[in-house]
Structure 1
Amino acid sequence: MYSKDMLKGQVAVVTGATRGIGKSMAVALAETGADVALIQRSENEETKREIESLGVRCEIFHCDLNNMESVRSVIPAIANEMGTVDILVNSAGIQKRHPAVEFPEEDWDQVININLKAVWILCQEAGKIMVSKNRGKIINIASLVSFQGGITVPAYTSSKGAVGQLTKALANEWSSKGVNVNAIVPGYIDTDMNTALINDPTRSRQILERIPVGRWGRPDDFKGPVLFLASPASEYVHGHLLAVDGGWLGR
């Protein structure tokens, strides 16, 4: 699908790559030659080992995305150690479910911090590097609830709606500076975040009935989209929210 050396010599930064969609995207970038910096809180080195087996460099940079001081310093640390930042993929995110009248403020703050504020700071710090060299790719992960309201997830919906708008705002400023800022919108994907829905026979059936392709998405379904947005193929794509949803939004 893409050249093995398409991204050779570039440094890609990925959050949320210990599992699921983030892991598949990080591996895809490595499969096409990019060196990869993984921003993660855990000590899990499974993704790092898989990437290194592909013959490229991979380093883990520990960061708590709920700690803004830590978030602010991680991109400069990556650039210092790995030379630069060419690609940023903001995949990490959390979800908290409560009825709106009972939603705890602490959960609201955590979701907004990790899903939105940390994304903003990482974009800003990476943008400083990319704008200065007139080149770069930023790929945020939005959600179906960037367009829809969701149920019992007011903080998640608010954060992902804002990620979509942030993507457009940054594209408006940085597209003329050679920096592409876009977002991927996952549909219903078979990941840990959706375990409760998958295990609920009624909701799972209702969801499948609406997905035209007739199946839940898989993390590897995101390899092609992330490579498109990270590659020269998307040079004229700016501020776009690319739905990878099996046709859900078109139903």
Structure 2
Amino acid sequence: MFDLSSFSLKGKSAIITGGASGLGEYYTKAMLKAGAQVMVVSRTDKNWDVMQQFADELNANIYFLKQDITAKDAPQKIVEETIKQLGKIDILVNNAGMQLRNKWQDFKDQDWEKVVNLNLNAVYFLSHAVAKEMAKQKSGKIINIGSMQSYRAGKFIFPYTASKHSVVGLTKAYADALAPYNIQVNAIAPGYINTPMTKALQEDPVRSKEILAHIPAGHWGDPSELMGVVVFLASSASNYVTGVTLPVDGGYLLR
């Protein structure tokens, strides 16, 4: 029987990569508000104090792990530390990502590798390690983060576009493979959201105008507008939803 408790994450344990800054900060806050305890994994301790204070005000449990998730031994370290501190893993949000811009003829090989390693390879390997734990308990939620560039071209951001297209495919493949273990795998594709990553676009008088004209909602998204979606995909309310990439874009893809 459905009731609002289906959206509760009380008693759930989540890992969120890059969960202390950018959009990850809002995913973490949403999980904490919904009742989950959260392990934030990030390369630096930037904003950890702010996130700790937020959790304390909610009387919620938050933990932190400083880890480069592209390191070869990162998945096992993350899994082991999370189980040690939180006891189990119910939710994984593969949020950490980066974008580098350049003209096609000037793109450096090392920049391609850097972006793809973080945005795609790390998602694959961490999901693989976490799925093994989720399979034991016959339940779990994996949430990947796509982009508008999961659907469109990005002529100055080749590795970002390639990685975000690939995240959609990876989401489908894992959803199919893990369904027998009652593990749902979905993705969120944020639209043009007001974050530091989009600052250059917002300040470009030509591109900013073009983007706004393409958004039926008429404004850049606020990061808080992604919070309900991540809670839904992490909760039992979405138990029959898997392999889906959900655009949260104010209708951008309609035009």
After TM superposition, the score normalised by the length of structure 1 is 0.96
Q: Measured at CA, do residues 5 and 57 of structure 1 come closer, stay the same or move farther in structure 2, by a change above 3 Å?
A: farther
Name the counterpart of 1:227. Answer: 231
Is residue 64 of structure 1 aligned with residue 68 of structure 2? yes
Q: Residue deviations 1:149-194, cap 9 Å, x none?
A: 1121110011111111000000001112100000000110110111
**Inter-partner Cα distance in structure 1 for 2:4 and 2:22:** 21
Given residue 103 of structure 2, which amino acid in structure 1 is its aligned partner?
A: P
Which residue number in structure 2 is paired with residue 84 of structure 1?
88
Q: CA distance change for structure 1 residues 101 and 10 in 2, over 3 Å: closer, same or farther?
A: same
Q: Tell me which of 243, 246, 252 is aligned to 1:242.
A: 246
User: Closer, same or farther in 2 for the Cα pair 1:249/1:42, shift >3 Å?
Assistant: same
Give yes or no for the alignment of 1:34 onto 2:36. Answer: yes
Say which of 218, 222, 226 aligns to 1:214. Answer: 218
Distance of aligned partners of 1:240 and 1:71 in 2 relative to their CA distance in 1, 3 Å threshold: same
Cα distance in 2, alignment partners of residues 96 and 230 from structure 1:
29
5+ unaligned residues in a row in structure 2: which ranges?
none
Match of 2:15 in 1: 13
2:55 maps to 1:51: yes
Percent identity between the two aligned chains: 39
Deviations 1:15-73 (A, max 9, x none): 11222211111111110110010001112212232123211111001111232323442
Distance in structure 2 (CA, Å) of the matches to 1:72 and 1:177: 20
3-state SS of the aligned residue for 1:80?
Answer: helix
Residue correspondences, number: 251
Aligned counterpart, 2:110: 106
SS class of match (2:185): strand
Does the 8 A contact of 1:17 with 1:47 survive in 2? no
Whole-angstrom CA distance in 2 between matches of 1:164 and 1:72: 24
The 1:149/1:72 distance shift into structure 2, 3 A limit, reads farther
TM-score, normalization by structure 2: 0.94
- In structure 1, what is the equivalent of residue 100 of structure 2? 96
Contact 2:15 2:41 in 1 (8 A): yes
Question: Post-superposition shift, 1:117?
Answer: 0.8
**CA RMSD of the aligned region, Å?**
1.6
Which of 145, 156, 161 does residue 157 from structure 1 map onto? 161
> Partner residue of 1:140?
144
Partner of 2:77: 73
| Cα contact 1:190–1:217 (8 A) shared by 2 | yes
In 2, Cα distance between equivalents of 1:127 and 1:65: 16
Do the aligned partners of 2:7 and 2:236 also contact (CA within 8 Å) in 1? no
> For residue 39 of structure 1, what is the amino acid of its counterpart?
V
Deviates more, 1:224-233 or 1:60-69: 60-69
Moved more, 228-237 or 40-49: 40-49
- Aligned-pair distance for 1:3? 5.2
2: CA distance, partners of 1:108 / 1:149: 16
Shift of 1:125: 1.1
Within 2, Cα distance between the matches of 1:236 and 1:79? 26
